[in-house]
Structure 1
Amino acid sequence: MRAFAVTVLTLAALAVLAGLLWSHLSPRAPYQVTAEGPVLADPSTQALISADGWYAVITGGLGLACGALAWFLGRRHQLAVLLGLGAGGVLAAFLTLWVGSTFTLGVVVVEAAATPGVKIVPGSLTLTATGVIVAWPLVAVAFFGLMEGMHGYRESPLRKPYGLG
């Protein structure tokens, strides 16, 4: 139980840093303030896609690092660590999303409006491609399984059938 809890809490702590890094690196989409509320000022902006991409790169990279580190350090409690990677990865993905969208770090650039009197403001950081939220747990568990499969194959007596060397 301790290996599971340590894995989940470690991933949650890393998620706070990942959320701050995502907030720092991702651009904000410009929104035009209207009477009905904020409207996307430039429908052809790449800022929304860029935010999704940075989220996937950061969480996928951390998932890869966590999966490798968990395999090397958690050899005695493999099942607990693997379950911790899955549960902690899901928690870390949502925590990264919450921290990154709550806190604004870095430079926020707002473009000037083409029409005088129109107010342009930076939008909040969100995910438009919600499928990238599974990057952290998926990559962590998959890499852990890959490492375990390679190690199991290398140590297997079935690797050299019939006693041939």
Structure 2
Amino acid sequence: MTREVRAFAVTVLTLATLGAAAGLLWSGLTPRAPYEVTQHGTVLADPSTQALIAADGWFAVITGGLGLLCGGVGWFIGRRWMLAVLLGLCAGGVLGAMLTLWVGSTFTIGAVVIEAAAQPGAKVVPGALRLTASGVLVSWPLLAVGLFALMEGMHGYRESPLRHPYADPPDPL
């Protein structure tokens, strides 16, 4: 029982660490939406900007790629503790995605360039990263668990007697 708990904990902590690094990567790659500072607060300077959609897309690509990587590595390494690693991929994927969102929206990495057609004299500032499609938060755990299950299903079928249902009948005694 102790080894299973250790495998679960190592999997969750590894994915959480990757989540923090993925947040920095997301912050560095994603363009910022331009906001105009007005007397009523900040408003979106360019309503036709694609930066809000790009933030969701980059988040899905980064966390989805990490989900596939973690699912494959988890299946190869955690063959002895399948259930613990699988549950760790699920919980760690959720934690990693949440950490990616928090780190990416809290820290700004790299140069922030904004381009917007603003009124003369208006102050335009870059907006903070945020997700507009919250469904991309499940891309990491979904792809990690999905690839893990697919690989285990293929491996189990390859070694199954059901693969050859009409094999040679046993020798009669």
Q: By the TM > 0.5 criterion, same fold?
A: yes
- Contiguous gaps of at least 5 residues in structure 2: none
Q: Distance in 1 between matches of 2:44 and 2:115?
A: 12
Alpha-carbon contact 2:46-2:117 (below 8 Å) kept:
no
Q: Which amino acid aligns with 2:57?
A: G
- The answer to whether structure 1 residue 153 and structure 2 residue 164 are counterparts is no
Aligned twin of 1:78 = 82
Q: Distance in 1 between matches of 2:48 and 2:114?
A: 15
Alpha-carbon contact 2:45-2:116 (below 8 Å) kept:
no
With normalisation by structure 1, the TM-score equals 0.97
SS at match of 1:127: coil
Q: Distance in 1 between matches of 2:38 and 2:82?
A: 55
- The answer to whether structure 1 residue 6 and structure 2 residue 10 are counterparts is yes
Q: Distance in 2 between matches of 1:161 and 1:6?
A: 40
Following superposition, the deviation at residue 38 of structure 1 comes to 0.6
Following superposition, the deviation at residue 112 of structure 1 comes to 5.9
Aligned counterpart for 2:99 among listed residues 89, 95, 100: 95
Percent of residue pairs bearing the same amino acid type: 75
Q: Distance in 2 between matches of 1:156 and 1:106?
A: 52
- Contiguous gaps of at least 5 residues in structure 1: none
1:39-92 Cα distance to aligned partner (Å, 9 max, x none): 000000000111110000000000000000000000000000000000000000
Q: Distance in 2 between matches of 1:88 and 1:49?
A: 26
Following superposition, the deviation at residue 113 of structure 1 comes to 5.1
SS at match of 1:115: coil
Aligned counterpart for 1:15 among listed residues 19, 26, 45: 19
Q: Which has the larger radius of gyration?
A: 2
Q: Distance in 2 between matches of 1:48 and 1:5?
A: 35
SS at match of 2:19: helix
With normalisation by structure 2, the TM-score equals 0.92
CA RMSD in angstroms comes to 1.2
Alpha-carbon contact 2:31-2:112 (below 8 Å) kept:
yes
